Structure 1
Amino acid sequence: MINPCKISDGGVEYILGTFDGEKAVYDFPKILEFFERKGRELFGGHFRIYPADHEILHKLCNYAIRDPVNCEKYGLDPNKGLLLSGPVGCGKTTLMKLLRHLVPHQRKYEVIPCRNIVFGFNHVGYKTIEDYGNNSFICFDDMGVEPAGRYYGKDCNVIGEIMLSRYELFLSNKVKTHATTNLNADEMEERYGSRVRSRMRHLFNLIAFDSETPDKRK
């Protein structure tokens, strides 16, 4: 039987809580310790978890482990994806890259910059939209600031079209989509239109950093 609270990573075993064979009870301080170590491995020795981010991380972790009490408390639906928003440099991408390691028995998502997807579209065309509108688990990183899509002189809102495809996948196969963005709701609607914005409300749980969160890269 898989113990979801036990993670073996790089030859090191982490015990993040207790498991009685039926119910897993996670210890948040132990999760933070795991993230600190994993973060240094992935991003370098300068990495640290900031106390100001603990509330955001608590929401993300309870979503990932599908804790029913805290998901209800925070208004999170574990069957939907995540839209993590916040100002430039607050750590959105970093946290999404860390989160996928928390529950290793779940299917991992790829973190892919939206600008790379648009560059692919500009090179090979509409096959790119088909490729990302499939059953893969993806976190679309930096959504909303990608360049315009253009193929043979024809403009296309590439990420908006992909979101419409992902919405259909969510309805038919419950395929999750995650994303990070610097934009607020009004800016997202201006960028992608009301139709895509409406679909995104069904696709995502919104978790937002405070707008005054400083740029950690400075």
Structure 2
Amino acid sequence: MVNPCEIIEGGVSYHIGKIKGKKVCYDFQKMLEYLEIKGKLLFREFKIYPEDEALLFKLCNYIIADVEQCEKFKIDPGKGLLLSGPVGCGKTSVLKLLRHLVPHQKSYQVIPSRNIVFSFNHLGYKTIEDYGNAGYLCMDDLGVEPMGRYYGRDCNVVGEILLSRYELFLNHKVRTHASTNLNAEELEERYGNRVRSRMRKLFNLVAFDKNSADKRK
């Protein structure tokens, strides 16, 4: 039987909680310790800052689907995450790390939105079909990607993929995650009211503080 509280990394076991009867009890401090270790393995230079711990507590409870805590934070564990915040605050790193807390669950791939558009420019509408209709996906840096262009025709590639993934979510409960530097008004300007309306149903909006420092400096 898989123990969801035990993560084996390089032959070392990390216990991020305990099983009590039929209940899984996660330990947030141990989850933070593991995230910092995993972050250093993945990114070399990585640190969890005290000012981000409240946000990480919310995100950790989302990813382990703690119903009581999710209800407290008004988060729907059945929906995806839209993680927003200033440039360099750590959105991408956090989204890449969260999936490692639940290795027993189906993982999602993290793809820069601009790369999706570059793929469209090369392969055309097959890209929209591929990213829109299957798989667990996290689109990084939503809203700053260029407009797609294939055989002389412009296309708002990511907007079309979001519409397709909304249908995927409705019909098959497949979640979509994303990160963005933009606010709600800027996203609506980029993708239009129809897509913005679907995004409200696709995502839980979770945000870093607008004054979060650029951790890349």
Equivalent in the alignment of 1:143: 142
Q: Which residue of 2 aligns with 1:117?
A: 116
Instruction: For 2:126, give the aligned amino acid.
Output: K
Spell out, residue by residue over 1:24-56, the C-alpha distance to the aligned partner (whole angstroms, 9 max, x if none). Answer: 111111001101110110000x21101111011
Equivalent residue of 2:215, what SS? coil
Paired amino acid for 1:13? S
Consecutive unaligned residues of structure 2, counting only runs of 5 or more, are: none
Residue 19 of structure 2 aligns to which amino acid in structure 1?
Answer: F
- Secondary structure of 1:107's counterpart equals coil
The residue number in structure 2 matching 1:208 is: 207
Q: Which amino acid aligns with 1:209?
A: F
Offset at residue 2 of structure 1 (A):
2.1
Paired AA for residue 60 in structure 2 = C
| Length, aligned pairs only | 217
Aligned residue in 2 for 1:94: 93
Question: Which residues in structure 2 correspond to 1:1-218 (within 5 Å)?
Answer: 1-44=1-44, 46-218=45-217
Normalising by structure 2, we get a TM-score of 0.98
Counterpart Cα distance in 2 of 1:161 and 1:47: 34
The CA distance in 2 between the partners of 1:23 and 1:105, in whole Å, is 16
Cα deviation, residue 21, structure 1: 4.1
Q: Secondary structure at the match of 1:93?
A: helix
Residue 136 of structure 1 aligns with an amino acid whose one-letter code is G
Segments of 5+ residues of structure 1 without an aligned counterpart are none
Moved more, 89-98 or 5-14: 5-14
Following superposition, the deviation at residue 18 of structure 1 comes to 1.0
Return the letter of the residue paired with 1:202: K
After superposition, the CA RMSD in angstroms is 0.7
**What amino acid is aligned across from residue 99 of structure 1 in structure 2?**
L
Q: C-alpha separation between the residues in 1 aligned to 2:164 and 2:147?
A: 18
Q: Which runs of 4+ in 1 moved over 4 A?
A: none
User: How far apart, CA to CA, are the structure 2 residues paired with 1:126 and 1:135?
Assistant: 15
SS in 1 for 2:133: coil
Amino acid corresponding to residue 200 of structure 2 in structure 1: R
User: How far has the Cα of 1:135 moved from its partner?
Assistant: 2.1
Amino acid at match of 1:50: Y
State how far apart, in whole Å, the 2-side matches of 1:39 and 1:124 are: 34
Task: Calculate percent identity across the aligned residue pairs.
Answer: 68
Q: Distance in 2 between matches of 1:10 and 1:137?
A: 25
- State the distance in 2 between where 1:135 and 1:129 align: 10
Distance in 1, Cα, partners of 2:11 & 2:204: 34
* Deviates most, 3-12 or 149-158: 3-12
The SS at the match of 2:101 is coil
CA drift of 1:10 comes to 1.5
